[in-house]
């Protein structure tokens, strides 16, 4: 059974529970809204913040949504999807993203990154936001690089907004002695919670209606089962909901009932 057959069977305009929702079409769970609001504040304050959450909880989606609306004339957003950026590290990345040709020697490279960051604000009038995703993977030298970049000599304020996004282990890691200087400057910490049962129901309806089905397609017990198995995490809900649709389609059922949801859960736990 192909996904396109499933799409046609249920009369979807596109397959629901996919990855690519534009920021304006995201489901506004309380946690998502809170994360976006706090990150937006952080950007406007040019401060340092940490957003944590479990795998698939919606961190990257929330972080992208928070910077999506920033106009390019007033803002420069540097988004590092993965901190595995090679031995020359974050400085090189920052310099290249701000249009520079990274210098070879480390001392020169640090000075170059710092002056490009400052120039972006002072000469071009753009506030810089450096968003590092998967930050729990940052190694010690990279955390040290970030600490140096955020502490300009002249000013106690950071010359840019820094958003570290990562799995829950990031918080504990930052508390370790060697990073205390960076940790002390973190003004915002937010742990993105999983969705509540009501939110998972709303989330499923939202995705279905984005795909053109505004009527009731999932039974209440199917939704409850998906919520429980996914523990309210959006990525897992997507995965289970899609499999439940396939199961219902195979059964030639008109709605996704608990039987279809149970078969989706069984498939996922067998993976
Ligand atoms: N607010 C939301 N609205 C719609 N879909 C969402 C939302 N949050 C997360 N998702 C879905 O869940 C998936 C996982 O989210 P993601 O931000 O990649 O998780 P994380 O970065 O925490 O691992 C996304 O691909 C998206 O499909
Ligand atoms: Mg992510």
pLDDT tens digit at each of 271 positions of the chain:
788 999 999 999 999 998 888 888 999 999 999 999 999 999 999 999 999 999 999 999 999 999 998 888 899 999 998 887 765 678 898 999 999 999 988 889 988 998 999 899 888 889 999 999 999 999 888 888 888 888 765 555 677 899 999 999 999 889 887 788 888 889 999 999 999 999 999 999 999 999 999 999 999 999 999 999 999 999 999 999 999 999 999 999 999 999 999 999 999 988 8
Q: Which atom of ligand 1 is nearest to the CA of 18?
A: 27
Q: How many CB atoms within 10 Å of residue 155? A: 9
Cβ neighbours for 43, distance < 8 A, ≥ 6 positions apart: 66, 67, 70, 75, 127, 129, 161, 163
At residue 248, the pLDDT reads: 97
At residue 26, the pLDDT reads: 96
Distance 103 CA to ligand 1 centre (A): 37
CB crowding 123-132: b at 16 or more within 10 Å, else e: eeebbbbbbb
CA 149 – CA 106 distance, rounded (Å): 13
Residues around ligand 2, an ion, CB closer than 5 A: 60
At residue 89, the pLDDT reads: 79
Ligand closest to CA 62: 1
Answer whether 56 contacts ligand 1 (Cβ < 6 A): yes
Answer whether 235 contacts ligand 1 (Cβ < 6 A): yes
Residue 111 dihedral angles phi and psi, to the nearest 5°: -60, -40
Cβ neighbours for 115, distance < 8 A, ≥ 6 positions apart: none
Q: Which atom of ligand 1 is nearest to the CA of 207?
A: 4
Answer whether 61 contacts ligand 1 (Cβ < 6 A): yes
CB 237 within 8 A of CB 227: yes
Q: Which CATH architecture best describes the domain 3-18+195-270?
A: Orthogonal Bundle (1.10)
Mutation pick for ligand 1 pocket among 55, 234, 242 (CB with most ligand atoms within 8 Å)? 234
Answer whether 223 contacts ligand 1 (Cβ < 6 A): no
Q: Which atom of ligand 1 is nearest to the CA of 19?
A: 27
At residue 157, the pLDDT reads: 63
Cβ neighbours for 136, distance < 8 A, ≥ 6 positions apart: 166, 167, 168, 169, 170, 173
Write down the residue that tokens 């059974």 correspond to. Answer: 1
| pTM (2 d.p.) | 0.93
Mutation pick for ligand 1 pocket among 20, 81, 190, 235 (CB with most ligand atoms within 8 Å)? 235
Q: Which two tokens stand for residue 227?
A: 């919520």
Query: What DSSP character marks residue 23?
Result: G
Domain boundaries along the sequence of the chain:
3-18+195-270, 30-191
Ligand closest to CA 30: 1
Q: Which two tokens stand for residue 170?
A: 């990031």
Q: Which two tokens stand for residue 232?
A: 């309210």
Q: Which CATH architecture best describes the domain 30-191?
A: 3-Layer(aba) Sandwich (3.40)
CA separation (Å) from 163 to 49, 141, 228, 234? 5, 18, 31, 22
Nearest Cα residue to atom 15 of ligand 1: 58
At residue 155, the pLDDT reads: 58
């Amino acid at each position: 059974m192909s996904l396109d057959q499933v799409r046609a069977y249920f009369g979807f305009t596109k397959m629901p529970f996919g990855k690519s929702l534009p920021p304006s079409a995201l489901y506004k769970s309380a946690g998502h809204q809170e994360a976006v609001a706090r990150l937006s504040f952080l950007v406007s304050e040019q401060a340092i913040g940490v957003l944590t959450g479990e795998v698939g909880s919606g961190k990257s989606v929330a972080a992208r949504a928070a910077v999506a609306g920033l106009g390019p004339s007033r803002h420069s957003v540097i988004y590092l999807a993965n901190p595995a950026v090679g031995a020359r590290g974050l400085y090189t990345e920052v310099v290249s993203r701000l249009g520079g040709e990274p210098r070879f020697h480390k001392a020169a490279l640090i000075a170059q990154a710092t002056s490009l960051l400052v120039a972006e604000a002072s000469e071009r009038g753009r506030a810089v936001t450096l968003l590092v995703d998967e930050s729990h993977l940052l190694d010690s030298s990279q955390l040290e690089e970030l600490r140096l970049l955020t502490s300009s000599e002249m000013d106690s304020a950071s010359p840019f907004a820094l958003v570290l996004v990562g799995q829950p282990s990031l918080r504990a890691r930052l508390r370790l002695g060697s990073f205390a200087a960076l940790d002390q400057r973190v003004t915002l910490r937010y742990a993105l919670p999983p969705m509540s049962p009501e939110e998972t129901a709303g989330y499923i309806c939202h995705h279905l209606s984005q795909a053109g089905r505004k009527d009731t397609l999932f039974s209440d017990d199917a939704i409850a089962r998906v919520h429980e198995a996914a523990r309210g995490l959006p990525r897992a809900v997507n995965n289970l909901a899609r499999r439940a649709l396939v199961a219902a389609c195979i059964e030639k059922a008109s709605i996704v009932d608990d039987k279809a949801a149970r078969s989706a859960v069984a498939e996922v736990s067998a993976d």
